[in-house]
Amino acid sequence: MDTFLIIVNIAVLIAIIGLLIWMQKKHLSFTKRVFTGLGVGIVLGAVLQAIYGTGSDVLTQTTDWYNIVGSGYINLLMMIVVPLVMVSIIQSIINLEKSSELGKMSAWIIGILVATAMIAALVGIGSAALFDLNADQIEAGQAENDRSAMLESTLDEVEGMSAPDKILSFIPSNIFLDMTQQRSTSVIAVVIFSIIVGVAVLGLRRKKPEQAELFTKIVNSLYAVVMRIVTLILRLTPFGILALMANTVASTDFAGIIELGKFVIASYVAIIAMFIVHLILVGVFGLSPMTYLKKVLPVLSFAFTSRSSAGTIPLNIQAQRNSLGVHEGIANMSASFGATIGQNGCAGLYPAMLAIMIAPSVGIDPFTFGFIAKLVIIVGISSFGVAGVGGGATFAAIIVLSSMGLPVGLAGLLISIEALIDMGRTALNVNDAMLSGTLTSRILGKLNLKTFNDKTAIEKDIAI
């Protein structure tokens, strides 16, 4: 009987995928297909949980089969991240008119990422104060205690890493290891290696122009192939979002959400407030916030469902270049840097809210100027090297809480709602990466305003 029900559930998913394929053949827009996948996925997940109940064997096996589509799509994106980052950054540098532009681009991108992370910390502090969050209000169960013990054990590893050690972790010692993304700073290491290669080619161009020209042709050809692969993978986005959203909703612990409802609401109020800050910054630089929002929504939808900033890099770069009119080199660098630096949700809002929530439990007043100033500075510094996949927020929280002298184990109290909050945090992280690219292009006079304002430029290379 269980096998029959699982087959029925799989058939339902296949039928919905068929609907999305039909929408594609009817040339309905990429955005409409993405949001159809998102909406139908939510409904499908809710129905599955209502029928079978959380933790049932049928639901567990059904989500395992759905993972072939959802996790399979994420795996394809992760597969192309390193080739895309490496080839695109090398290609961008060797095609620069002036090598001095590289320093300006990097400085503005990183500066915007870190500055907005510090602003996010202030927003998180404000939300925690508004909702009077306090760790003492949460009742710890077995799962929470287990999570707390895990965080305490992880703290020993983090505390052994000094600031110089952290900086050294960005520098690649084995680029082939970093190509496997085995370290939390692997993406940054690949970026640094790619920059070195690009700068080397610029130097070679002056001494041996023939070899430099040959290398440039090879890189440009590789870039064209990689971007074609990216386009093919991104066309699967509606299907991936459908399966990911169905699994997320079907597996969500709604009882835990209801119990910790105040913390969920406080987190999303902070996330929404920070999105508004991003849109205000877009407006301050003379661009239409609504135009920007419409063009980034498909990317944010995937980031929300996948909970992976690194996995969103290909879609991020494509959207910046083709939809927002961001300079190619800036789009490549902002998406890559933004996956591990200055993440507004995971490295900004979350650690700050936890610090404000936990401080009273150990007799510290979190609303003194000294505490807040120290917290914001630590958030800015620690926002380097946060992993761009699920779990990065935990790493950031451990660093911030330990630096503030607060018990990291209490962060485990929110485990039952961690996944739900992480969805919003990841979307905010990705939006910040896109914001840094857009503003940097605008500041350096490299933003294609015609493309930015073109309402049909949302999906030029993906639609269809």
C-beta separation of 320 from 92 below 8 A: no
459 within some domain: no
448-461 mean pLDDT = 76
Burial class (CB in 10 A: 0-12, 13-18, 19+), 242: buried
Q: Which two tokens stand for residue 319?
A: 């959207």
Banded pLDDT at 149 (limits 50, 70, 90): low
For the cut 90, the answer to whether the pLDDT of residue 239 exceeds it is yes
Number of domains in the chain: 1
302 within some domain: yes
**Model confidence over 391-420: pLDDT tens digits?**
566 777 777 877 787 877 666 556 556 777
Q: Which two tokens stand for residue 7?
A: 């087959």
Banded pLDDT at 450 (limits 50, 70, 90): very high
Report the distance separating Cα 401 and Cα 359, nearest Å: 9
20 within some domain: yes
**Model confidence over 254-263: pLDDT tens digits?**
665 665 678 8
**Model confidence over 321-345: pLDDT tens digits?**
889 999 888 998 898 888 878 889 8
- Provide, rounded to the nearest whole percent, the portion of the chain with pLDDT above 70: 84
Q: Provide the residue type at 303 as one letter.
A: A
463 within some domain: no
458 within some domain: no
- Which segment, 174-188, 254-268, 428-442, 443-457, is predicted with the most confidence on average? 428-442
For the cut 50, the answer to whether the pLDDT of residue 144 exceeds it is no
pLDDT of 413? 58
Banded pLDDT at 464 (limits 50, 70, 90): very low
- Provide, rounded to the nearest whole percent, the portion of the chain with pLDDT above 90: 30
- Concatenated DSSP letters of 401-455: HHHTT--GGGGGGGGGGHHHHHHHHHHHHHHHHHHHHHHHHHHTT---HHHHH-T
For the cut 80, the answer to whether the pLDDT of residue 219 exceeds it is yes
461 within some domain: no
pLDDT of 290? 93
172 within some domain: yes
- Domain range for 142 is 2-453
- Which segment, 96-100, 171-175, 215-219, 391-395, is predicted with the most confidence on average? 215-219
374 within some domain: yes
CATH code of the domain in which 369 resides: 1.10.3860.10
For the cut 60, the answer to whether the pLDDT of residue 42 exceeds it is yes
**Model confidence over 372-392: pLDDT tens digits?**
999 999 888 877 766 544 456
Report the distance separating Cα 165 and Cα 324, nearest Å: 37
Higher pLDDT, 310 or 451: 451
Instruction: Tell me what the pLDDT averaged over the chain comes to.
Output: 83
pLDDT of 411? 62
